[in-house]
Chains A and B, each alone.
Chain A
Amino acid sequence: MNQQPAKEVIDPVQRARIWYALLLVIFGIFVLRVFYLQVIRYTYYKRAALSDQLKQYSIPAGRGLITAHLGDGTVPIVLNQELYTLYADPVDIKHPAQTAAKLQPIIGGSISNIQQELQTSGTQYVVLKQKLTSDQSNKILSYQLPGVGTEGQDYRTYPQGDLASQVLGFVNNAGQGEYGVEQAMNSQLSGTAGELKAVTDINGVPLAATSNNILTAPVNGDTVGLTINVGMQAQVEKIIQSAYKTNKSKDVSAIVMNVNTGQIEAMANYPSYDPSNYSNVSNPDLFENDTVTNPIEPGSITKLFTTAAALTKGAITPTSSFYDPGSWRIDGATVSDAAIDHSQGQESVLDILDKSLNTGATWMLMQIGGGQINPVARQTLYDYFSNHFMLGKATGIQQGNGEESSGYLPSPNDNGSGINLTWANVSFGQAYTATALQMVTGISSILNGGTYYAPTLIDQVTSPGGKVTKVQPNAIEKNVVPKQVSQDIISLMEQNNARHINEGYPYLNFGPNYIVGGKTGTAQIAMPQGGYYPNLFNGTYLGFIGGNTPQYAIVVYNIEPTNYASFAGADTGQPVFANIAHMLVNDFGVTPKS
């Protein structure tokens, strides 16, 4: 009998042990894997997870507003507004014709052009329209057009249009101020951006239940209040625009300054530009505020400064007179007058201003030097021009960084190239350059009794929390001229104005209640190759209006006018001054004499 071989029976206990060992191995593998993932690769996976979950947002700070005076209050003249850019992804546009038809009534333009843009190949981003309002954006989004979207962006908005655009400057696409107040006050206007670091869900919404979220609130920029008076600025701009057209000038600029504070209430140039469309300006020169960037040889308005210096030094008195030879020979050159080339006999200081005698200004310089132009005369006039009237130095006005020109004042030291002739020229307004701002600030320091106030465009700065910091008048120099000399200059300017009324300029008559004075300048223009243009002049004017005392100083630079009768100063500078002065009397409450 065959006996079947006995089956090999595994002991159940043994089997259990095998399974147990197997499970232990598997469990061990899991443990090792988890250890690898969670300990060894900890940094990698944490970073990978956070890159999906942790979002970091920069919260832009609102740029500060710019305000200006209007009536008894202030109004914003530069604000922020969120506008929208309409874009499309041509790849996702399935029905360009229908999409274009939907968009056209909102964004304008032709349907065919829009359709063409929607079918642009090789790109996934086409800008269809910029600066849409929120209503327009919402309407477009409500159509839920595939491949079409809008994105918001803050823009500077100018409710007064192009008013004072060159004073204001603009903000570029990077959010930085350029030119004007926007650049000069950029750090105050910009504020400080905030930050949000947060773990978010799949919708990008920050999870509240995490301690890792960091929120730093943005700090909005300060509100900058200008000294500019909106109504006055608008009228000055209108006046110089009219002069620009009438005189067929290259540029016209004017400034109205409060003589007792240095505050600028109007500062205008024409031509100008629209700051909301600065990117469309083809000539970048238009961005510059010529009243601070464009120094010229100012011409005979300088005689006021020469007279003030000579009076202060005691070299002349208001009633002094001299025998006018008609011309002087200095350093081998002839210095003569613009209109008169022969002796007029005895001439007074008032005659020098009224007839704008270059020989008279040169004579005053000679008197400072004791009867001749010498180092004392040159050094003294240089000292007054440079250290009293601050010519040849930037004023520090709050305009774009490096935008302001300091002009040019020659050294009084003998350089062997006709220095006496140079300073004779300086005495009547040639051979040196100054901006309109330098001239009006200098004359203000004489008119107010002898204090040079730093010119300012900033009235106050208001923090987002409402803290107001007033900008106080900054007296740079308190002994520009003695009070008596101030009175003498005011009187001479007033008498000069009275003479002009009788000489055929009745519009300079402001009646008995106001004091008005001024001086014309017909300035020669230097040619690049040397010498002066024979038939091209700048018309300038420096004057004041007030009641008991001068209240406003006014400067006019009419650059290269080509349409006028006789003298650029009298025909193109003086009328602009008169119109501005009348406007101030009529609309801005110049305090009449009491």
Chain B
Amino acid sequence: MTYSSTLALGRQQNLSRGQNSVTFRVTDKRLGPVSNTIILIVLACLLGLLYLTQVTRTNTYGYQINNLQQQQSQLQQQHENLTVASAREQSVSRTANSNTAQAMTSVNPSGSVQQ
């Protein structure tokens, strides 16, 4: 007789005495329909939350893009203003009316008609 068979014999002897006993046996643990539904809902909520988090995070980039575009627009406008100012400073009439030009004298002009 092996050691294991000896133990099994012992348990059978105890049962035979009619004493209360609790038996432990492995049964199939399965979730019911309510639990399944709840879990699915929770999972869907989690997924929704995850989606919302990502969408919100992505949409904040929209504000960053918008701000950058505004900055770009402002810089372009500044560039335009400076270009205009530069062109005005170089205009023929402004140059001709400058103090430097006024102080100049004509050098050997070939001639002109005094009308």
Contact = CB atoms under 8 A, between A and B. Distances in A.
Interface string A423-466: 00000000000000000000000000000000000000000000
Contacts of A578: 111-113
A205 B80 contact: no
A529 to B, nearest CB: 34
A205 B111 contact: no
Interface in A58-94: 70, 75-77, 79-82
Interface residues of A, number: 40
B53 to A, nearest CB: 11
A555 interface: no
B90 A159 contact: yes
B110 A582 contact: yes
Q: Which of B54, B55, B81, B111 has the most CB of A within 10 A?
A: B111
Given A507-B112, A585-B110, A205 B87 contact: no
Interface in B48-97: 54-55, 58-59, 61-63, 65-66, 77, 80-81, 83-84, 87-88, 90-93, 96
Contacts of B91: 159-161
Interface of A is mostly: mixed
A65 to B, nearest CB: 9
Given A246-B115, A582-B112, A586-B110, A81 B55 contact: no
Contact of A206 (B66, B109, B111): B66
A231 interface: yes
A76 B113 contact: no
A9 interface: no
B4 to A, nearest CB: 52
A506 B111 CA distance: 9
B49 to A, nearest CB: 15
A549 to B, nearest CB: 19
Nearest to B61: A208
B111 A582 contact: yes
A167 interface: no
B86 to A, nearest CB: 8
Interface in A557-594: 575, 578-579, 582-583, 585-586
B63 A509 contact: no
A171 interface: no
Contacts of B55: 209
The 9 closest A-B pairs by CB, nearest first: A159-B87, A209-B58, A208-B62, A575-B113, A246-B115, A234-B92, A159-B88, A208-B61, A209-B55
Interface of A: 70, 75-77, 79-82, 133-134, 157, 159-161, 163, 201, 205-209, 230-231, 234, 242-243, 246-247, 506-507, 509-511, 575, 578-579, 582-583, 585-586
13 contacts: A76-B83, A77-B87, A79-B87, A157-B84, A159-B91, A163-B92, A201-B59, A206-B66, A209-B58, A507-B112, A578-B113, A579-B113, A586-B106
